[in-house]
Amino acid sequence: MKKSHVVIVQLIMMMLILSSCAVKKYAINPAFYSSGSNMGLILVTNDITTRRSGGSVLGKALIDYHKYDAPLEAVDPGLDPEKKFRRMYLSLFESKGKSISRVDDMFDTGQFTEFVAPDKNKKYFKYDLRPLKEKYNVDELMIVTVDYGLNQNYSGAFEAGKGGYSHVVSNIVNLNDNSIIYKGESWGNGKLKSNWDTPPDYEFLREAIDAAINQAVEIEKTKY
């Protein structure tokens, strides 16, 4: 086997091992769904944006970072990631017998103090969320952050490809002791079927981002 192939295989194995460990560490115990406790959902959907990967230092200095601002602003009204994810989570947990309700609040870590872990054998949320138990009358809190938009891949100073993307980071925290019940992330990708530069609607750009959002929704369904 060629040396380059060996390196690739080793990297893949390492990723699989790390992924496996993460799943085991944060897997939800089936008893969580039948405990009779109530869970609140905070869904933070960030503004549509452009995500960039790759590129040299010189290349990044030459990138036009505002090239896609207007097209993204044009397609955003036709996308509704918050609605899609909210419906999915509420329906999913209710189908499993878990009481869940949306908490109408923006999650700002600046309002919380950092949490000092009393037990090194357990995983705790970085910030102390326990005061929210009484505020919202819930036993657990699910915090989901969604990013979406256009992903640009660069090779040096040149754009090597682009497409829609969606990135989801989710945490479920036990508000009794601030321990982490679940933590994970999901990525969604959407292929551009044709040229993105089709004003005024930019339909192919919108379809690519919408496909990425839908893919992330479907992947999230398999995590719980």
For residue 25, pLDDT beyond 90: no
Is there a contact between 186 and 168 (Cβ–Cβ < 8 Å)? yes
What is the domain partition of the chain in residue ranges?
A: 29-221
Could you tell me if 207 and 196 are in contact, meaning their C-beta atoms sit under 8 angstroms apart? Answer: no
Question: What b/e sequence results for 45-68 when a residue is b if at least 16 CB atoms lie within 10 Å of its CB, and e otherwise?
Answer: beebebebeebeeeeeeebeeeeb
Residues 91 and 108: their CA atoms lie apart, in Å, by 26
Using CA atoms, how far apart are residues 13 and 11, in angstroms rounded to an integer? 5
| Start-end of H helices in the chain | 3-26, 57-62, 69-75, 81-95, 131-136, 203-221
Query: Which has the closest alpha carbon to 93: 200, 209, 182?
Result: 182
Q: How confident is the model at residue 57 (pLDDT cuts 50, 70, 90)?
A: low
When pLDDT is cut at 50, 70 and 90, the band that residue 14 belongs to is: very low
178-201: pLDDT as tens digits:
999 999 999 999 999 999 999 999
Give the three-state DSSP class for 123.
Answer: coil
Per-residue pLDDT reduced to its tens digit, 128-164: 999 999 999 999 999 999 999 999 887 777 778 899 9
The CATH class that applies to domain 29-221 reads alpha beta
Q: What is the pTM of this model?
A: 0.83
Distance CA 99, CA 91 (A): 10
